[in-house]
Structure 1
Amino acid sequence: MSYKNRFVFSLVVSLPLLVEMFLAPFGYHIPGGDWGEFLLATAVMLVSAGPFVKSAWAAFKHHHANMDTLVAIGTSTAYLYSIYAMLNHQAVFYESAALVVTLILLGQVFEERMKHSANGAVKKLLDLQAKDAEVLRDGKMVMLPLDQVVMGDVIRVKPGQKVAVDGVITEGKSTLDESMVTGESMPVEKGVGDAVIGSTMNNTGTFMFKVNKLGKDTLLSQIVEMVKKAQTSHAPIEKMVDKISNIFVPAVLITSIVTFMVWYVFFGATVGQALIFMVAVLIIACPCALGIATPTALMVGTGRSAKLGILIKNGEALEAANKVKTVVFDKTGTITVGKPKVTDVIGDERTVLSVAASLEKSSEHPLASAILERAKSNGLSFAEATDFQAIEGKGVQAMVDGKLAFVGNDKLLQDHKLGAQLSKQMTALQTEAKTVVIVGLDDQVIGLIAIQDAPKPSSMSAIAQLKQRGLRTVMLTGDNKLVAEAIAKQVGIDDVIADVLPGDKADHVKALQASGPVAFVGDGINDAPALTTADVGIAMGSGTDIAIESGGIVLVKNNLEDVVQALALSEKTFSRIKMNLFWAFIYNALGIPIAAGVFATLGLTLSPELAGLGMALSSLSVVANSLLLNKVKLTSNAKEHVAV
């Protein structure tokens, strides 16, 4: 039975007891007197309080005490004593047991509603999915339900329609509103070869696209799954709370017994009076607020991050982000756009480009793509390369027209000499933040190709904001040191670690961790080990599947300012958690002495019913405080967009 149904049942059955409690001085009693109260209280204890008792018993069998232990013992004590008192013609406290259960359930009903509100991001995401698609079948366009679409289908999307699933445009162009998934408010222009995201809205043109992802593999489904997992995950700080609860609950049980004994033995109270103080202590001390302090804040924090286009996979990543001291960036595709272009060709352009393109035509590296694009634009033909061989960390070599050709970075100069003029030109290009590719044929360097990848517009702003937060910024790249330092100077990065082999990135991250927790931001396959090694791995949404899988945080919009947003949200979330824990502890610290009757001589006491109400209000205040995360300003100049 749900909290709501248990509460409704308990409220209806307890109402007569509540009425009698207020009207008894005026001579009103429910039919049947004590036996009538017994029947009503028994119904509440069996139906509504039963789960508390079962939970407490299960914890006891595992040698633990949980929050339900205090509720179960407190209400059961009042109920069982009332049976004893009724049989011995003494005052009964059935209303205390029934009303405490009702008030505790009231608090839990509100908690559930607020959690449901915090979890609305996932439901809104799911509602975005298209229901059908116009698919090309047997030469005709037919409208089909989404579950009948298969991989490789070609789908037509008209203006105002939703993109059904993920794919790549094969014909036409348009502008798309991707804000519901990426958080980016500006429409994005798309043409042939560009990827489209399922559930985004087509604005202007009509286009055809080929399906490449379905079901759980689509970006929207992955976002939903990540948000779900994050909202149900646990942060390390919760382990501390669990340890405190395991000590706190037994301490409260002992305190309640001592309270009973002191009032009964030393102050001459009746068993019933002493029992009231004991039960009040048990109820007021129930650390429900303590238990929900962390999960509610995590739920709201991860839900809000999804709206911003920042996917935080779990509580561990969110907590770790709060402690970061150094942020390490990959260069290509992370700080830079990731679409380099050839700017200069030194040597005979046709020969240099033709040799380089012949070796690079099978490569997927961004630099290779730039060379191929320039060669194609010049109308050059590519020779067939044989005996292809990769030179780790340096480049590639192969036989072209019977001669040994090679293409690579300046580490190749360890094996090949560079003339004085080419060496001078190479240094000049590198100081202009251009990556230089060395091209050789027949064991001779025949030319240089300069390639430049411009920094993203958001890079400089993001680095500046990170510095304002007192964080150290580092660029970790396999590129040449001169090029890396030139880019770093443009965007304002503190330190540069260049000429790093792909397999060594993780080792450099480990070395940086000696100075404090490290966040690594990257997008490539070679970044996966570093993303996993870092305290927080932040993957760019445009990166490879391996990189995205390795990161604890994914930036859907590929905007580096979202690194700042993620760290700021982590800080605000854990500030709320600490605030929640503080108030939960203060509430118990102040409430227990009052409930125990320490201030009874001053007329300040707490009945079990009021203790139950206070406990419910305490839990509600914690949830409400967590929900305020949705209103907290994250950064001074960041623009928030709603993605759901």
Structure 2
Amino acid sequence: MPLPETSSQLTTIVGINGMSCAACTASVETAIRSVSNVEEATVNLATEKATVIYQSRPTILKEILNAVRDSGYSIKTEHITLEIQGMTCAACTSTVEKAMSKLEGVVEVIVSLTKEQAQVSYLEQLTPVSTMIDAVRKVGYNVNPKLDNVSSDAKGSQLTSQTKEISLLKYKFFVSAFVGFILFLGSFNRFPWVNTLIQYDYYLLTLLSLGTLVQFWAGSSFYKSGLSALRNKTANMYTLVCLGTSVAYIYSVVITLTRIIGTVEIENSPMSKTLHFDTAAIIIALVILGRLLERRARHRTSDAIRQLIDLKPNQVSKITGSKEMIIPISELIIGDTVIVKPGERIPVDGEIVDGYSWIDESMISGESIPLEKGPGGQVYSATINTTRSLIIRADRLGQHSILGQIIEMVEKAQNSKIPIQRIVDAFAAHFVPGVIAIAGISFMFWFIWGPEPSLLYSLLTFISILVVACPCAIGLATPTAMIVSTGHAANRGILIKNAETLEKTNKATVVLVDKTGTLTKGKPEVTDIFVIKGTRTELLHIAASVEVRSEHPLGKPIVALAINEGLNIGKPDNFEAFPGLGVKANMGEHCVLLGNQKFLTSNNVCLDAVASVRTEMEEAGKTTILVAKDNQLLGIIGLSDIIKDESAAMVAHLNSLGVETIMVTGDNPKSAQEIARRV
């Protein structure tokens, strides 16, 4: 999503498939850093992403992707089919391919003249669908995404890919575990039937076939990753698995074939009585189980990102002329106007062109009380339009929106490494070669000085050391903990800049605490009803009967209190709302006004009787609503955001740890002091 750090410095995040341990991340980091103009590369095993900082120049991104592939790993790309109209010859397809290939995030594009389609593999964070569409339109062709295969979001296709991988691993585990169990029953010579059946060639061939199935089907991904690492003169956990299981498998194949051929030396050897197809199969099954559990853990750690992404609507109602069209959000461009109806999430950052409504911005600001906004007001993606339809001009889209920047911050925090993780990764890069060396030394020791059959003992020792020492946990423990913590924090409205910041929080001596929604519940409640004329019940009944028609968020707690007290709420006539002032309605033959001081004063209502009470309430941080009937003041209702029950205990606990707490609020000083005194 390249984000400029300086005039020519860019940062991008690339998804990588095939990494299994910290040695893999070290290999990928080394490969990326070898590319000219790359300043820094950080690879996170748990998120399977590489964060690369580089100086901008032509083709550098392609070189980075090629370096990752050359190191034996694949790039996570999205795929889309675009329907292109207007192509008439091979020159047209060439023009379209060139136009799209120039885009930084397009990895591969294949254009078919007969189908009038373009198959595109791309990096969504670098090149969104709307950019590809614009590129094709600029060279003179009409283009639309094929509706039956367009992912509403790149993360959605990534989620599907992860689900498929988990399903395949589950299938491979059950098959390899079942076959391994059968091989164990058929190979372990302590079972009485083994020594009898092993004399028959067809029985040996059956064991060989089952062992081969597990070794080269279930274990195929291990060989692919392990051999790729060897080609790049590195080693990873699959190198250990491949070496260990291959030794057991090849040993068993040799014994099986020599028994079938009838080699006398082997048949008379104690080694001929033992086959280890079951050893290799069960090891592969257990490693697949570990990988399955690891994948599930990784899948769950990305829940926070997915929940943030789900806040963004997949489709928008775009206004073109006098028409309203529903289109994928990926097709929206800056300057388009959209209509957002009550209850819908706002899809873009932009400016209100027409309409008034109350916007719930709690997702952005933490303030639970909706804000009233009208033409010229700024709105933000993922916030909720609560009351009336709005027409909004899109000013910022995708990763440039407030929501996009929040998602990016969380992703960067999850991809970053704390200092100790860098030490662990450096250790893991040398761990695998060290394990292989130790296993080799142990093999030689048992082969030379071990009891007979020494070759069998040395082989089993060699296999055991290789398999037990797989370094999965070394590379996964710290980044997984980091992802879980930052993810849970993001869901609770806490954004963490990077891993190093999180690590340093234990040294914090001061904590800044927001008032609304943190120390308080974030929802106003009626705290005071001061009566000038009539009774408390009459005042509450009149206020609730008018506010039941109001869309103002401060009207809801008044109505809720009346319902809780069992009052029969009336139905007002001629209801009118005056934005920023109050409401007016008729209750029978009486005209009722509810609102602020300015509203009632402008309607010739004398407020002298409650002047001191109103001042006292407002200084205590309460919102006041004045109630009048037929221009006669009935009383005043005070509303306040109630302090959470646990706030005082939380502040006291932080103070006991030597951490100073400072409340941050936009309220007036007296109101802030009152809240601070109570917590």
TM-score bucket of the superposed structures, by smaller chain: 0.3 to 0.5
- Which structure carries more strand by proportion? 2
TM-score (norm 1): 0.47
Higher RCO (CA 8 Å, separation ≥ 6 residues): 1
Answer 1 or 2: which has greater helix percent: 1
User: Normalising by structure 2, what TM-score?
Assistant: 0.45
